[in-house]
Amino acid sequence: MSDANERIESAKRKAAFRAVADHFNSSMRFVGIGSGSTIVYGVEAIKAHLAANPPPPNHMNWFVPTGWNSRKVIEEAGLLPIAFDSLPGDAMLEVCFDGADEVDEELNCIKGGGACLFQEKLVACRSKKFVCIADYRKDQKRLLTNWPSIPIEVAPIAHASVLRELKLLGSTNAKLREHSLAKTGPIQTDQSFYIIDAPFKTLLSALDVKNGHDGSGKDGVWDVDTLAARIKQINGVLEVGIFAGMNGVQAQRAGLQGGARPVAVYFGLEDGEVMVKKAAEIE
Ligand SMILES: O=C[C@H](O)[C@H](O)[C@H](O)COP(=O)(O)O
């Protein structure tokens, strides 16, 4: 592994251990586990925490996966998985941990770089809080700064019409995601759907809108919330890889279950430190 890659992996691991230390305890009943390369360290940290702090007698910690790979990571760590649709009807998850592809200063996220987003959003919105773990490359002032496009999960039969609609919204170069060996065709999600990657101009934040900037899509300039809602309205779209709107705490205050935006993001930094951005401090 190159020095640069080692720094990135070490940053992810440090952020994960800090996030778990701050937001997990052994008496929790249901905990969500996201997908991707960063969450692997989150599961490692949870396993280490449980070994050092065993749960109370007869208490089970259940881990809700967000896809096939996430379930495998849970099982390989010797933790107990429970499928999302096996949760008791009124049960909320205490917390869910997940990674992100890019995070803006309001903690809106882009997710789906690894083709997981639908189940991640289901789990985040069923959690009292979504805690995001990332490395320094993901920390940006606005979404679509470094990360080039919005992943969108679509029904296979509708992919061409969704591409057409996206063009009308200003994404002229949206593409169906294919395996690197193109002859094997489009990538399929855990729902056997397709992923479209849709580039847009850098997104405005809610703060920009409050300050009078127009994020309505005029001249191809969108704000995070308006674009997420507009893409979700397209027929054939299952879910959009923009995790915005309310966070879990705001949602509960509004009498709803949970929200898709993290309450905190833990960024592992290049110098070995961890920077924590909390929703409460910026809203
Ligand atoms: O589709 C994948 C998920 O949304 C991931 O959480 C996201 O892509 C971040 O992945 P990684 O931790 O590998 O950067």
CA of 226 to the centre of ligand 1 (A): 23
Q: Which ipTM value was assigned to this complex? A: 0.99
The long-range contacts involving 250-257, CB below 8 angstroms and separated by at least 24 positions, are 250/279, 251/125, 252/128, 257/92, 257/125, 257/126
25 Cβ contact partners less than 8 Å away, ≥ 6 residues apart: 49, 53
Its pTM stands at 0.96
Selected catalytic residue, list 106, 120, 165, 239: 120
- Give residue-wise pLDDT tens across range 90-113: 899 999 999 999 999 999 999 999
pLDDT of the residue at 232? 97
| Known active-site residue 120 | yes
Domains contained in the chain, CATH given: 3-137+244-282 (3.40.50.1360), 150-241 (3.30.70.260)
Q: Are 248 and 130 in contact (CB under 8 A)?
A: yes
pLDDT of the residue at 1? 78
Mean pLDDT over 170-194 rounds to 92
Q: Are 247 and 109 in contact (CB under 8 A)?
A: no
**The pair of three-digit structure tokens given for residue 124, joined into one six-digit string:** 């985040």
pLDDT of the residue at 184? 82
CA of 173 to the centre of ligand 1 (A): 22
Nearest-CA neighbor of 240 among 98, 71, 108?
108
Which atom, in ligand 1's list, is nearest to the CA of 117?
A: 4
Residues with CB under 6 A from ligand 1: 34-38, 98-101, 111-117, 120
